[in-house]
Structure 1
Amino acid sequence: MGSAVFALVFLSSGYLLLRRWSITRPHALSWDGHALYFSVVVASIVLAVEADIFRELVEQSGMVGAQFNAKISGVLSAFATENKLNALGVTAAWSVPIAVTSFILLNAPIRFSPFLRVQLYLRLSCLGELEEFLLITSARNLPVMLTLASKKVYVGFSLEANASRGKRDWVRIEPLISGYRDNNQEFVFTTDYSWLHTNGSQESLRREDFDIIVPASDIASAHAFDLNIYVQQFLNGGGEIAGASSLSTASAPAEADAVSGTRAVRVERAAGQPTTKCEKIYWSFCGALAGLAPIAYFSWWLVSGFWILMTALLAYASVIDSEGTS
């Protein structure tokens, strides 16, 4: 009975860490069945090792630490009377605060550096295609054009969803303009919200009151939008899309132009972005956090020095990479 209860505590701690760490939370919400179970088991094993080492450190810290563990052991005596099983219970009890402390520390650099958060989300495929697109445009402060299945069109700034939420079923935008698609799929402008973004509007109005929330399932298409570029590059004097022939040429295989003799060649995109300094140091930070208890078992001075060094390097890299350098 006692061993089963303590095993559930370990599994709960592992699940808590996966659900609350910003990097693993999207995966934990989308996984089901064996994928979620084995991931929780792996996280629980890591926490169990950390908790067991920490329990011994507390007992070796002196009279206060030994008495503290004895109090926990006394509470758990209702589930386990054997010494070994009781020690397992104390370890399980320590795994819960260790899990809470771990996800708080792991999330701190991600909240501190928006650039780091975007890079990690994209590299680890934490989000779906639409969520990734909205995250990038939000980070670059670019408006997006959302066309719904009803042909209603909204243009505005996507507001990044709270990281503590689950799957993004709704999209919130700060509107700039709106309209609809006519029978020829041309965009027809109807409402201007640009006055919301002027300095004077902030005195009497709250932009939050005009936010528009649309269901993600109703979005037929989405793309970044710049009104000036849209007018200059895609609309001619009659309001028709200009350059359609050039777009079709770019999307087709390169062929020789019989008139000018030139070739339309599509420039390939890079397969992936290089790993930034901020990302490398963040993963070193994660490794240092995981090795905190084992190293502390041998030397607290070594832990303190290494922790201060890693924190300073992480802050330095976050400041550098917040400007987009790698």
Structure 2
Amino acid sequence: MPFNLLIFPLVGGYYILIRFALFRYVQYRLEIQRVLLNSAFAGIILLVCCFILRAIINIILPDFTAFISEHLPVRTPFFGTTSFSLIVAVIATEIGNLFINRKKAIKMSLQKSGNEFELLMSSSFFDAHLLQFTMDSGKVYIGWVKELPKPFTTSYIRITPAFSGYRNEKKELIFTTQYLTVYASYIADGSVQDTNALKTDLVLKVDKINSASFFDLDMYKRFNPDQDNE
């Protein structure tokens, strides 16, 4: 087999890795050399599968394979099988993505190779944990992650705020806005049926976040019994 024909399964393997939802998010963090190596392994597996598929088709429909071989634009041996591997990679990947839940795929990728910040965001998004974000400016936001961004490419995060405030000179947390009370009043008077209609989401720039952590309101009240946060 001419080695230049191996470009087809190599590209096919790369396409699978960067497009198939179960694999693509993990590749973002890998070095380019590792991605190319993974692409080569995927290409080898793809090529073997195509040779097996060709053998099966040749047994079942020998006239069809002979017809295709005679009408190929290039008569180089194995051109048909190797080029077919790229077509199979594209079609199989796009069809496979139709049956893959994007959010579940992202969650699996984060569990496998996410960093601490990404795992924290994932926990809030999937398990509705309140998070506390302290910004460089001293401003503090407490809320739930509203939208799970693609792993390893996070520059901004969207949250639904529950409280906001700031830290004073003594680093004490001072609440200035309690969104939960406002949400409850809108729902109680029938103005909205869902808090999403209020458009109160905040977008935070990741590189402006000084720290992020879980926030438990009951525990906060126990540590700060003199502050009224009702």
- Per the normalisation by structure 2, the TM-score is 0.79
Shift of 1:3: 5.5
2:112 aligns with 124
1:142 aligns with 129
Query: Could you say what the CA RMSD is over the residues aligned between the two structures, in angstroms?
Result: 3.1
Shift of 1:162: 4.6
Share of identical aligned residues, percent?
22
Cα deviation digits, residues 28-82 of structure 1 (max 9, x gap): 112223211101111111122222222333344437xx548845873x42xx313
5+ residue gaps, structure 2, are: none
Mapping for residues 94-243 of structure 1, pairs under 5 Å: 94-105=88-99, 107-108=100-101, 118=107, 120-121=108-109, 123-125=111-113, 127-163=114-150, 167-194=153-180, 195-196=182-183, 199=187, 200-203=190-193, 206-207=196-197, 209-231=199-221, 233-237=222-226
1:49 aligns with 48
Q: Pick 1 or 2: higher relative contact order, CA cutoff 8 A, min separation 6.
A: 2
Query: Quick one: which amino acid aligns to residue 112 of structure 2?
Result: L
Shift of 1:138: 2.1
Tell me the distance in 2 between the aligned counterparts of 1:82 and 1:129: 51
Q: Cα–Cα, structure 1 residues 69 and 117, in superposed 2: closer, same or farther, change >3 Å?
A: farther
Which structure: greater strand fraction?
2
Shift of 1:95: 3.4
- Per the normalisation by structure 1, the TM-score is 0.58
For the 8 Å contact 1:48–1:92, the answer to whether it is kept is no
1:318 aligns with none
For the 8 Å contact 2:6–2:82, the answer to whether it is kept is no
Mapping for residues 19-98 of structure 1, pairs under 5 Å: 19-62=18-61, 67=64, 70-71=67-68, 74=71, 76-77=72-73, 80-98=74-92
Cα deviation digits, residues 112-150 of structure 1 (max 9, x gap): xx5x974x345422x221110111122221211100111
Cα deviation digits, residues 284-320 of structure 1 (max 9, x gap): xxxxxxxxxxxxxxxxxxxxxxxxxxxxxxxxxxxxx
Tell me the distance in 1 between the aligned counterparts of 2:16 and 2:121: 26
For the 8 Å contact 1:161–1:168, the answer to whether it is kept is no
Q: Cα–Cα, structure 1 residues 11 and 69, in superposed 2: closer, same or farther, change >3 Å?
A: farther
Count of residues paired in the alignment: 223
